[in-house]
Amino acid sequence: MVTTPQKKVLATGPSGPAIRDFPAEERPRERLRTHGAGNLSNSELMAILLRTGLEGENVVAMSVRLLATVDGLQGLSRVNYEELCELKGISDAKACQLLAGIELGRRVSGLEPNDAPRVGSPADIAKLYMPEMSAYDREHMRVVLLNTKNQVVGADDLYVGSVNAALVRPAEVFAAAVRRNLPAVMVVHNHPSGDPTPSPEDIRLTAQLVEAGRILDVEVIDHVVIGQGRYVSMRERKLGF
């Protein structure tokens, strides 16, 4: 199960000169203007949002430390306001700036380009995700976010390890869909054994998610189990639906 990363204790100390002492062409904002945002590192982009660092720790170094503390961008996308404010150097204003930046990124990813993949069947989902997920040596549960045209507008790995009804929290499964006012999701997880036959736990989990989706007004279109070169649609087999 993937949980929100816990705060780590990292060594601290002097971390380079202040940004104002950087050569002009090496400052994050100047690099963005000259080279474009796509050529900046994660820590440089984060430094632009945070604007200032701490005494003895410039904002780029602070961004590097913070990303390491929360296990990178994926971890950063999962922390909430209170958890951010517990991190050294993150004030109320900085927490709000980071959360606003993350949410804007989510909303941009939810826009509907004409070439966004459309899923009309479990075979479409298997085609999209089997090449990657069949290679995993542990179970991964992915929630695929769909718009009103059944186009994929996002997909999040929520759990790694044991994927079952006792560990999976429906609130986490539906959080992104509810936040973005999306009508439907598809759930996908893999069986590292290669056999996609749903287990009793898979069936219980599916029934739990389908019921939670009804309450939240987010349809669970299917739960697809990926194996080695094979897949099972739990809706087609009426397992949990």
List, for residues 182-234, the tens digit of each pLDDT value: 999 999 999 999 999 999 999 999 999 999 999 999 999 999 999 999 999 99
State residue 5's pLDDT score: 45
CA angle 133, 180, 190 (to 5 degrees): 15
Give the residue, 114 or 13, on which the prediction is more confident.
Answer: 114
Q: Which of 11-25, 141-155, 172-186 has the lowest mean pLDDT?
A: 11-25
Three-state DSSP class for residue 109: helix
Other residues' Cβ atoms within 10 Å of the Cβ of residue 96: 14
What is the model's pTM? 0.54
Model pLDDT, residue 2: 39
User: Where in the chain are the domains?
Assistant: 19-109, 122-233
Per-chain mean pLDDT for the chain: 85
Rounded Cα distance between 183 and 206, Å, is: 18
Between 1.10.155, 1.10.150, 1.10.3470, 3.40.50, what CATH number should domain 19-109 receive? 1.10.150
Same fold, 19-109 and 122-233: no
Q: Which residues pair with 95 in a beta bridge?
A: none
Give CA–CA dist 188/139, Å, rounded.
10
Tell me the β-bridge partners of 143: 156, 187
Fold of the CATH domain 122-233: Cytidine Deaminase; domain 2 (3.40.140)
Q: Encode pLDDT of 89-134 as tens digits.
A: 999 999 999 999 888 877 766 655 556 788 889 999 999 899 888 8
